[in-house]
Structure 1
Amino acid sequence: MVWQLGELIQACLIAWMAALAAVVAMKLFSGRISLNGILAATPNGGFDPTRVQSALIFLFIIGGYALQGLDAVATRGPMPEIPETLLVLLTGSNGVYLTGKIVRHRMAG
């Protein structure tokens, strides 16, 4: 009985995440969510390399973990632990982004 409840909750969570992803995708494609200026550092549209590296590292980490998760699903095993190297990479990436943001703020003010 508990196993069936767990499978039901898992199916509901997967459906919820799929619905959420579909809504975001629809809003992106319809233009209701704008990506204009997502890589800009300033209101006038200056390019920010720290945002680019942060976005690329994030996508790399999410992709790597998703592949590990797909392997776990295929073998019906538990979700994998997040490797320490990915956490260090994400922490470093966020540190670089925040440092750039602080430096830009201090230089502007």
Structure 2
Amino acid sequence: MDIHFTARRFKPHQDIRDHALSAIKKLDKYYDGIVRSDIILSYEGKNPSLKATEIKVKVVGAVLSAKEKSDDFHKSIDMAMEKSGRQLDKYKSKLRMKNKKTLRKVKEKENGEDSGDE
């Protein structure tokens, strides 16, 4: 997985950067087909006390995005990570359902061909 970290209009402390990078690495437990992850930290609007974290996760065929705001970067990172985890679970279950449907179609075709030979 390719990880890109961006802080807009400020230089983050090392502990915030480390927390964000270690958190994004945990997304592999939800789905191992992640191609790229972007973490974007910024101050929201004209209010510098509101911190925003945006996480974009690129998987094959889709880009999942989660944005959360909080009074602390650690909280906003954790909330965005939870949201990304839920999105990856949902994506993975949709992928499984799609695979099950195609397997059923293949099995039905095989069964149809076998009965035609008799």
Q: TM-score higher than 0.5 here? A: no
Structure with the larger helix share: 1
- Greater C-alpha radius of gyration: 2
TM-score by length of 2: 0.27
